[in-house]
Amino acid sequence: MDEKKVIFSGIQPSGDLTLGSYMGAIKNWVELSEDYNCYYCIVDMHAITVRQVPADLRRRTLEQLAQYIAAGIDPTKNTIFIQSHVPAHAELAWILNCYTMFGELSRMTQFKDKAAKNSDNINAGLFTYPALMAADILLYQADLVPVGDDQRQHVEITRDIANRFNGIYGDVFKLPEVYNPKVGARIMSLTSPENKMSKSDKDKGGCIYIMQSPDDIMRCFKRAVTDSDTWVHYDPENKKGVSNLMQIYAVATGKSFETIESEFTGRGYGDFKTAVGEAVVELLRPVREKASKLIADKAYLESVYKEGAERAAYAANKTLRKVYKKVGFVGK
Ligand code: AQP
């Protein structure tokens, strides 16, 4: 019997992966991957809640798989899979939709943000996104969900839905906890540090991408917004740009904010931005180099996602069968 605790997490292939996806999610997934039974998913079904170009979605799904492995997630020890390959996600999502309230969905900040950004396509899937995310997590009876800050509310609604369901039918679902990194849970745009760095951001200059060249990364950091004084000091209220750069530097180097402050005492922002850029280049270099090789090996990637889907479906269907029985469906 597998006694390890279970982790589920996923990322949408809705854009090229950013430094935010890496620091808020993937880096932590790697750290947890030895000690937990991990399911790491590429949530393509979530991605189509916003209109995607099909060829780009396909390309990014495979690139994302390569980047998970390149970042250090070992597919022989972890289950890496594509959401649409495991039908149980859609099946459980429908059921959970019937146990999710209109009012609670209306309070989701991601829905409000995305509805505002995509006012020509406020579709039902965008609204019920949290029910699909709850299905993702609950199918695997996950103990822990490592996500960045922006996804915390979705894990909380997952607990509410699970609690409601368990309240009616008994203990069907395990209640998952959020696992949030201490530093790096919210990496902000380099050009508008009041906004989160997002892979679907139209302002590409504010984002660093995992696959970006060192020269481009350095250029973006040199242009990063700071403020009118020259003090490298952590104050996320009043010094948003500098504090964001400090977070990035702290995650990339493992240094504390105090150490960073003293390292840059009396030095200008120019030096500081160069140091942050160089640290990020070195952090991402091995991932980019390995991912580039893996992307070229389609047969290997196919073997990983096929095996991942099989393993995931086995675990997911166990939960789904239980749910079907509980709600009163006649077994086949
Ligand atoms: N800027 C960020 N800082 C810290 N963590 C972040 N994450 C994303 N951006 C940052 C975390 O990475 C995972 C990505 O999840 P997702 O793709 O399912 O959803 P998202 O949060 O909507 O990510 P994006 O990049 O903002 O995508 P788009 O632009 O498509 O909406 C999550 O764990 C998230 O917290």
- Mean of the per-residue pLDDT values for the chain? 96
pLDDT digits (tens, 9 = 90+) for 134-148: 999 999 999 999 998
- Measured in angstroms, how far is the CA atom of residue 207 from the centroid of ligand 1? 12
Give residue 201's pLDDT: 84
> Whose structure tokens read 């902000």?
188
Residue 102: both structure tokens together = 């209109």
Coil, strand, or helix at residue 88? helix
pLDDT digits (tens, 9 = 90+) for 252-308: 999 999 999 999 998 989 999 999 999 999 999 999 999 999 999 999 999 999 999
Q: Quick one: pLDDT band at residue 2, thresholds 50, 70, 90?
A: low
Spatial CA neighbour of 210 closest among 55, 19, 58: 19
The pocket around ligand 1, CB under 6 angstroms, is made up of: 11-12, 14-15, 18, 20-21, 23-25, 43, 147-148, 150-151, 185-187, 196-200
pLDDT digits (tens, 9 = 90+) for 35-91: 999 999 999 999 999 999 999 999 999 999 999 999 999 999 999 999 999 999 999
- Measured in angstroms, how far is the CA atom of residue 20 from the centroid of ligand 1? 7
Ligand 1, atom 33, residue with closest C-alpha: 147
Return the ligand 1 atom nearest residue 50 CA: 30
Phi-psi region of 182 (alpha: psi -120 to 50; beta: other; left: phi over 0): alpha
Distance CA 216, CA 209 (A): 10
Spatial CA neighbour of 315 closest among 21, 94, 132, 92: 92
Flag whether pLDDT at 158 surpasses 80: yes
- E strands, the chain, where? 6-11, 37-42, 79-82, 144-146, 177-179
Contact 322, 172 (CB under 8 A): yes
Phi, psi of 10 (to 5 degrees): -150, 165
**What share of the chain has pLDDT > 70, as a percent?**
99
Residue 91: both structure tokens together = 């099946």
Q: Quick one: pLDDT band at residue 184, thresholds 50, 70, 90?
A: confident
Give residue 209's pLDDT: 97
